[in-house]
Structure 1
C-alpha cells in the first residue's frame, strides 16, 4: 500500500470522492480543497488514471516532509531513493504547487527538488538526468502546504482532462472533466437512456463526454503518454490487463445524444473531435439557433450546455437579448425538460427568468462558475410579464425620447444624448449616433453594490432595443471612470466599428467601439456652431484639437486659414480624414505637437483660438504633467501672445469645480464672458456642469 494523491478542479472534490469510492471501494479518503488522498495499491492508481472522469492528476507519493527552509525542502527530496525510480540517462520535470513564507515562488521550489535529484545521481556516477519540461520520462509532482511538502511521481503525466481526442477548439473551450461534472450534476448519468441535448455545443466536449459515459468508454483509453511509461516501478503487465478489461467493458451506442450550434464552423469542429474520439456515430449533430430550435425527440430528457459567459464587457450587448429570447423559448418549446447550464456570470443566467432548482460552484480553468439546474415544470414555464411600460428605466427612456422629439425637429444632427444617469440606479449615459447607440456605464457609487450595478446594466441593455428600435448588435458598451492623462483617448478594443455621421451639414468619422470617446464630443455641438459663426475671414487656431471637429466647422464657416494642433498622430490623421469627408481644401495646417510647448516658440498670429485641454495629463510625450486648474493661466498667456488685437479665445474644459483665474485674465488685458450656459445643448441640460466655457477677448 502507498499514499495516492488525486487532484481536481475547485468545486469537484465531493464528486471526485464519490467516483473514487466507486472505482476503488473501501478506501479511506482524506479530503482537502482540490486534493484527495488515500492509502492504495498500484492497481488502484492505474485504475484512476484510466477511468477517472473528474481527476486532473494521480500522484504516487514518495515522501512527505518539512519545507520550512530551502535546506529542509532539499533534504526531503534527497531522502527519496531516486535511482530506484529512474535511470541517470532519463529526463525529469518537476511540477511544484504552492508557496509558503520561505518558498515564495513555485519555480524556486521546483529547482531545489531538481537539484536534490540531480545531486543524488552525480554523487553515484558522472552521468546526471537532464530536465525536460514538456513530456519528461519521469514527471515529479510536489505540493507545498504551509511547512510541509508532498513529493511523488505524477502517474498521469499530463492533466487527465486531456483525453487525446480534441483536435480543434473554439474560444474558451470547456475542459473535459468539467463537462463530466456537469453531466453528473445534471442527473443524466443516473439514466443515460434518456435523451441528452447540447444546443450550444461549441467544439462538442459535453456530447463527446456523454457518449463516453453512455458507452462505458474509459476516458484515458486513447492517451499515449503517461507519467509511468518509463518509471522503473511501472508494472506494464498490470496496466495492459486493465486496458484490455476496459476495452471489453465498452457498450454499444444508444443514439440518444444530440449536439447543435448556431455556428457551422463549430459544428464541423465538433464532428472532427467526435470522430477522433471514436463516437461520431453516437451523436447526431446539426446547425441551428438555440433560441429557436425545438427538442429533437418527443421524449423528455436533459439539456446540458455551456453558453457564452460574456467575460468581455462589449459581449453583453449581444448576450443579454439572446438570453432573454432563449429563456422565453425554453419555457414554450422545452417544457418538461431538465436544463443544466454553466456560466461565470450568474446574473446573465437570471435574464432567462427561470427559477433554479439547484446550483453548484465550480471552476472552468481559472474562471469561477456556477452550475445551475432548472426543472421546466409548469410553474417554471410561466412567462414573466416583460411589458416595457412596467419597467422604470424603460419608462424614463420613453419619456426622454418624447421630450426630445420637438427639439430634434429643430436640430440638424444624427448624434445626441438620450439618457444621462436620470435614475440613480441606472447609472449610464446613452448617446445615439444615427442607427447606433453608445452606452457608457459610470462607475457605481460606493453605496451601490457591484452585483446590483451589474444587474441594472443588464436591464438597460435588455430594454434598449425594445424602446429605441436599435438592434442589440448595434449597441456599443463602455465603462467610464474618472480618467487621468490621455486615458480618455486610449484604445479599449480592436473592433473598428466606424461610420460617418452628420451634424449641421458637416460629416464626421466616429469610432463607436474602440475608444472611450467616439471622436465627436456631443456636448460641444453648440460651441462648434459658435466657432463656425465667428470664423468668417478669420485665421483660426484649434489647440488640443482631438479629431478636428471644431476645425472643420471653422473651415465651413469661411475661415481664412485653420491650424489644427494635437499631440496624437492618430487624431491628427483622423482630423485630416474629417476634412476630406467635407471636401475641404485650402490653407489648412495639421500639426502633431504638445500644445503647451509648441505655443512657446510659435510666432503665428490668429483672430480666433479655440482651446479645449484635458483636465490632467501625464503623457510621455509631454515634458511635464499638465493640470488645467494649475496651468491654465500659463497656457492662456502663451495663447494671448499669438492673438491679434481684437482677437478672441474660446476656452473650455470639463474639469468639475474648475475656476477661471479672472484676476490673471484681467492682467493679460483680456475680458472674460462666461458662455457655459449658452454652450450646453438641451440634451445635456440635466448635467449642465459637463463643461465650462469662456469667451476671452483681447482689448484693442
Structure 2
C-alpha cells in the first residue's frame, strides 16, 4: 500500500499586486488552502505541486522551500544582523540538502525594518554555510553567483531568519528567450499577468496586435498561452543539485508539458501583428520569437517598422481582436503632458479600428490610463521592478461620429437682444453662408465673425464645438464701461445665435502685442481640447495664451502643404506649434524639421505629433524639432529641403534673440538664407500678417515669385482679405 505523498510548506513569491491572480493560477494547478501575504503565497503541498508551479506558473517569481528557521535572541541592545545570519547558517547541517561538490549562491532579502549592509551580511551567511559543511563532512562547497547548482534564499526578519531552498534558481520571469533587449522592457511574468487579466485565452482572438512591441514580450507570452506552452519548458531550475530532487517526477512533468505544447501548435492561431517605430525593436522581436522556439511561426506574424499613424487596414469587422501594448511612457517626449497625448492618440486609433474589441494598455501614470476609451474598464496596479505601472483593460468604445458643428446648427429662436440685434443678425447670416462649405469640406475650425460691424469689434472663432471669442481692445476715446456693456451684449447674442452655453465659450481681450508679449502665458486654466483639421488632430488651448495653438487663417496653406509634401523633406521656420509640419508628416513627407525659439511651443508640437501617432525621436531623423533662432539655424546648417514654409512674426524682441526682428526690414536676409537651403526644384511658401508689407525687389529679381494670397485665404476670412499675404517662391528655371 502506497503511503501518501509527503507534504511540505512552500512559498511562492510574486510582484506586488499579483497575489490574487497568482492564487487563482496555482489553485487551477490543484493546490488548496493558500495563505496570501504581500508579495508571497504560502501553502502546504507535495513536491509535485512545487514542480508544477515551476513548470506552469506564468505569474510567479520564485518557488521556495523553507529549510531552516533561526529565532532571534533580543538579549542585546544593538543587533548584529550579519552575525545572526552566520549563526543561523552554522546551526543547520547543509550537507543534508546538497553535496559539497555542488556550487551555490545566496540571495538575501530583508524585511523593511531591518538595517544591514546586505553585501556583507550575504558574505557572512555564505561563511556560515561553508563552515557548516566543514564541520559536518570536512569539505567546502564553492560559490557561483552566475549559474549556481543550488540557490539559497534567506529572509532576514525581526524575530527570525528563514533559510529557503530556491527551487526556481533564476527568477521564474526569465523564460530563457529574451536574448535581445529594448529600453524599459516589461518583465515576462507581468506581461503574462496582463494577458491573463484581460482574458486572452477566453477571447480566443482571430487578430492579435501589439502596435509598440518593443522586444516582443507580449507577442511571445501570447504565443505561449495560445499554444499551451509551459513557461518552464526550456529553462534551467535550482533544484538539480538538491539531494531531495525527484528526477523521474520532474521528467514526467516535463514530458507532459512538451506533449501539450505539440498539441497546442496544431491549433489555429490568430493573425498576429507586431509593430514598432524603432527598427532595432523590430529586429529584437524577430530574434526573440525565434529564441523562444517559435521560429516556424515567423511567416505567420507580420512584424514591421510602423508608427501609430501608419496602421494598415486590419479588416477586423466581425472578427475577434485583442490589442495589448506597453507604450514608451513618453520619456523622450519632453513634458509629462506628451504622455497623455500619446494615450489620446492610441485611444482614437483603437476606437476607429477595433470598436467593441478587447484591449489592455500599460501606463506609468493613472492619468494616462484614464484617457483610454474603454467600456467598464478594469485597472490593475503592479510593480515592474521599482516602477509602478497601471494596466487598463476592457472593451473599446466605438468612435462617435463627429460632424462639423455647422452641420447640425440651425438658426435659433430667441428673444431679440436690444442693442445687439444687428450683430446677432450678421452672425446668423455668416453662419448660414459658411455652413454649406464647412460641411462639404469637413471644416471643424473656422472664423464665424471678424469685426464685421464697427460697434462689435470682436472675433468669433469656432474650434470643434467650442467658441473662442476675442475682444479687440477699444480705443482710449471709448468709455470703458460702455465698451464693456456692448461686449456683454455681444456675448449674450453669441450664446443665443449659436445655442452654446457659457462653458463652451472662452473669452480673451486682444490688445496690440509686440515681441515676446504675444507669447506670454495669460492664464493657467489649461482648457486644452483636441480638434480636427484635415487628417490631423490638433491640441488647442483656449485659455492660457493669447493665441490658441492653431492659426485659423493659415488652414488653406496647411492643407496645401499636406497635398504637396509626399516624399519630400519639409522645413518649417517659426513653426509655433508645428501644425504645418504635422500636416506634412501625415501627408507622407520623407522628413519634417521644425524650428522655433520657444521650447514651450516645441513641446506642444511634439504632443501634436504624438497625438497623431508620429515619432518625435531625433535618433531616427524622421521628425525633428530645434529650439533656435531661425537666422542662426539657417546659417549653421547645410541640409537641403524640397518644401519650406516660413510664417514669421511681424515683430519680435524675444529675450532669447539678440536684437529685434522686423519682417519688413529683415525678410530679405531671411529669405535669401532660406533659399540657399531649398533644392533646385523645391518650393518655398512665405507668409506674414503685416498689412503694409512690401516684398523686397531683390527677391523679385533673383527668384520666381508668385503671390498666392487669394488661394490661401479660406471662405471664412474672405471678408477680411488682408488677414495675411502669401507667396510661392522657387529658383528660376534654367534652359
Fold agreement, TM-score > 0.5: yes
Q: Which residue of 1 aligns with 2:62?
A: 57
Q: Which residue of 2 aligns with 1:255?
A: 269
Q: Which residue of 1 aligns with 2:14?
A: 8
Contact 1:90 1:129 in 2 (8 A): yes
**CA shift for structure 1 position 343:** 1.1
Q: Which residue of 2 aligns with 1:362?
A: 382
1:336 to 2:464 alignment: no
**CA shift for structure 1 position 192:** 2.6
Distance 2:329 2:198 in 1: 19
**CA shift for structure 1 position 21:** 0.8
**Per-residue deviation, residues 208-238 of structure 1 (Å, max 9, x unmatched):** 1111111111111111x32112222222222
Rate the CA distance shift 1:286–1:465 in 2: closer, same or farther, 3 A: farther
- Calculate the TM-score normalised by the size of structure 1: 0.59
Q: Which residue of 2 aligns with 1:422?
A: 522
Distance 1:460 1:57 in 2: 52
Contact 2:102 2:150 in 1 (8 A): yes
Q: SS in structure 2 opposite 1:278?
A: helix
**Per-residue deviation, residues 409-463 of structure 1 (Å, max 9, x unmatched):** xx6xxxx4644442134499xxxxxxxxxxxxxxxxxxxxxxxxxx9999989x9
Q: Which residue of 2 aligns with 1:659?
A: none
Rate the CA distance shift 1:458–1:210 in 2: closer, same or farther, 3 A: farther
Distance 1:103 1:340 in 2: 39
1:130 to 2:142 alignment: yes
**CA shift for structure 1 position 353:** 4.9
Rate the CA distance shift 1:500–1:331 in 2: closer, same or farther, 3 A: closer
Contact 2:208 2:271 in 1 (8 A): yes
Distance 2:471 2:117 in 1: 53
Contact 1:397 1:419 in 2 (8 A): no
Q: Which residue of 1 aligns with 2:629?
A: 501
1:227 to 2:232 alignment: no
Distance 1:354 1:238 in 2: 46
Q: Which residue of 2 aligns with 1:470?
A: 578
Q: SS in structure 1 opposite 2:215?
A: coil
**Per-residue deviation, residues 333-372 of structure 1 (Å, max 9, x unmatched):** 2212112111112222344455552111112222111111
Rate the CA distance shift 1:36–1:464 in 2: closer, same or farther, 3 A: farther
Contact 1:99 1:106 in 2 (8 A): no
List runs of 5+ in structure 1 lacking aligned partners.
429-454, 481-492, 511-524, 529-546, 554-580, 582-700
1:246 to 2:257 alignment: yes
Rate the CA distance shift 1:229–1:123 in 2: closer, same or farther, 3 A: same
Q: Which residue of 2 aligns with 1:284?
A: 301
Q: SS in structure 2 opposite 1:156?
A: coil
1:40 to 2:45 alignment: yes
Q: SS in structure 2 opposite 1:371?
A: strand
Q: Which residue of 1 aligns with 2:161?
A: 149
Count, aligned residues = 474
Q: SS in structure 2 opposite 1:314?
A: coil
Q: SS in structure 2 opposite 1:273?
A: helix
Contact 2:363 2:389 in 1 (8 A): yes
- Of 211, 214, 222, the match for 1:199: 211
Q: Which residue of 1 aligns with 2:410?
A: none
1:236 to 2:247 alignment: yes
Contact 1:82 1:117 in 2 (8 A): yes
Q: Which residue of 2 aligns with 1:116?
A: 128
Q: SS in structure 2 opposite 1:275?
A: helix
**CA shift for structure 1 position 330:** 2.2
Distance 1:157 1:32 in 2: 22
- Calculate the TM-score normalised by the size of structure 2: 0.56
**CA shift for structure 1 position 110:** 2.0
User: Which stretch has the larger CA shift, 82-91 or 385-394?
Assistant: 385-394
Contact 2:103 2:144 in 1 (8 A): yes
**CA shift for structure 1 position 26:** 4.1
Q: Which residue of 2 aligns with 1:650?
A: none
Contact 1:425 1:456 in 2 (8 A): no
Rate the CA distance shift 1:28–1:502 in 2: closer, same or farther, 3 A: closer
Distance 1:346 1:49 in 2: 33
Q: Which residue of 1 aligns with 2:366?
A: 346
Contact 1:74 1:112 in 2 (8 A): yes
Distance 2:320 2:369 in 1: 22
- Of 63, 69, 77, the match for 2:89: 77
**CA shift for structure 1 position 150:** 2.2
- Of 281, 284, 288, the match for 1:269: 284
**CA shift for structure 1 position 74:** 3.3
User: Which stretch has the larger CA shift, 309-318 or 359-368?
Assistant: 309-318
Q: Which residue of 2 aligns with 1:520?
A: none
Distance 1:54 1:425 in 2: 44
**Per-residue deviation, residues 496-519 of structure 1 (Å, max 9, x unmatched):** 97565258x999989xxxxxxxxx
**Per-residue deviation, residues 517-566 of structure 1 (Å, max 9, x unmatched):** xxxxxxxx8699xxxxxxxxxxxxxxxxxx9959x99xxxxxxxxxxxxx
- Of 72, 91, 96, the match for 2:108: 96
Q: SS in structure 2 opposite 1:181?
A: helix
RMSD between superposed Cα atoms in Å: 4.5
Rate the CA distance shift 1:335–1:191 in 2: closer, same or farther, 3 A: closer
Distance 1:144 1:196 in 2: 44
Rate the CA distance shift 1:336–1:191 in 2: closer, same or farther, 3 A: closer
Rate the CA distance shift 1:327–1:268 in 2: closer, same or farther, 3 A: same
Q: Which residue of 1 aligns with 2:682?
A: none
Q: SS in structure 2 opposite 1:304?
A: strand
**CA shift for structure 1 position 32:** 0.8
**CA shift for structure 1 position 193:** 5.2
Contact 2:374 2:397 in 1 (8 A): no
Rate the CA distance shift 1:92–1:297 in 2: closer, same or farther, 3 A: same
**CA shift for structure 1 position 291:** 4.2
Distance 1:216 1:507 in 2: 59
Contact 2:373 2:396 in 1 (8 A): no
Contact 2:376 2:394 in 1 (8 A): yes
**CA shift for structure 1 position 18:** 0.7
**Per-residue deviation, residues 178-221 of structure 1 (Å, max 9, x unmatched):** 11111111122224355332222222111111111111111111
Q: Which residue of 1 aligns with 2:569?
A: none
- Of 155, 167, 180, the match for 1:168: 180
Rate the CA distance shift 1:459–1:185 in 2: closer, same or farther, 3 A: farther
User: Which stretch has the larger CA shift, 464-473 or 162-171?
Assistant: 464-473
